[in-house]
């Protein structure tokens, strides 16, 4: 890791926002993505045999602790990704508990950070996504329409 304070010529402008970023696949785990399905998961990795991700560091359950750590570090930004395979374990079937949890996470961050950007996916989809050719049709689970925030919003409205 680079120690930026070892470089006296580096200056950050007044109001510069420091933040952190995580990806659901790296911090949540969930056992529902194609990376967790023996039929669709990779067989090898760059370092040899593929290891299943498991629960990672379980941020999905420990998000309040994670937000507290962000606050202790006085960070202004926190970007996280939604683990889509958790939200939609099967095409068109949304998990109300997962939807509620992501809303709870956003509510917990409200007022604590300057900005909370959210990305919809960072490569982890359900196994059914992997089995369909990408962008095959608008009804394909991998089409932009089926993975949009409009779809998520509609699903959220039916659970609240």
Percent of the chain with pLDDT over 90: 4
- 156 has pLDDT over 60: no
Q: What is the phi-psi region of residue 149: left when phi exceeds 0, alpha when psi lies from -120 to 50, beta otherwise? A: alpha
Distances from the Cα of 98 to the Cα of 25, 86, 94, angstroms? 15, 6, 8
Determine which of 47-61, 99-113, 119-133, 145-159 has the lowest per-residue pLDDT on average.
Answer: 145-159
Q: Which residue has the higher pLDDT, 36 or 120?
A: 36
Distances from the Cα of 158 to the Cα of 96, 127, 154, angstroms? 9, 25, 7
Over residues 125-153, the pLDDT tens digits come to 666 666 655 544 445 444 544 555 555 55
In the DSSP assignment, the letter for residue 45 is E
The answer as to whether 96 is a domain residue is yes
The answer as to whether 82 is a domain residue is yes
The answer as to whether 2 is a domain residue is no
65: three-class secondary structure by DSSP: helix
Which residue range forms the structural domain that includes residue 30? 12-159
Over residues 56-90, the pLDDT tens digits come to 888 889 999 999 998 899 888 888 888 878 887 87
The answer as to whether 4 is a domain residue is no
- Is 86 in contact with 124 (CB distance < 8 Å)? no
- 115 has pLDDT over 50: yes
Number of domains present in the structure of the chain: 1
The answer as to whether 110 is a domain residue is yes
């Amino acid at each position: 890791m680079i120690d930026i304070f070892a470089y006296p010529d580096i200056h950050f402008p007044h109001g510069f926002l420091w933040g952190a970023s995580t990806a659901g696949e790296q911090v949540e785990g969930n056992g529902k993505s194609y990376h967790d399905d023996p039929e669709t998961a990779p067989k090898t990795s760059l370092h040899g045999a593929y290891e299943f991700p498991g629960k990672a560091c379980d941020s999905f359950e420990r998000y309040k602790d994670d937000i507290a750590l962000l606050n202790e570090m006085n960070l202004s930004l926190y970007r996280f990704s939604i683990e889509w395979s958790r939200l939609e374990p099967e095409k068109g079937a949304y998990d109300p508990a997962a939807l509620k949890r992501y809303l709870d996470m956003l509510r917990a961050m409200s007022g604590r950070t300057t900005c909370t950007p959210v990305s919809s996916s960072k490569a982890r989809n359900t196994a059914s996504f992997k089995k369909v050719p990408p962008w095959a049709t608008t009804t394909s689970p991998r089409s932009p329409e089926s993975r949009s925030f409009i779809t998520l919003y509609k699903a959220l409205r039916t659970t609240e």
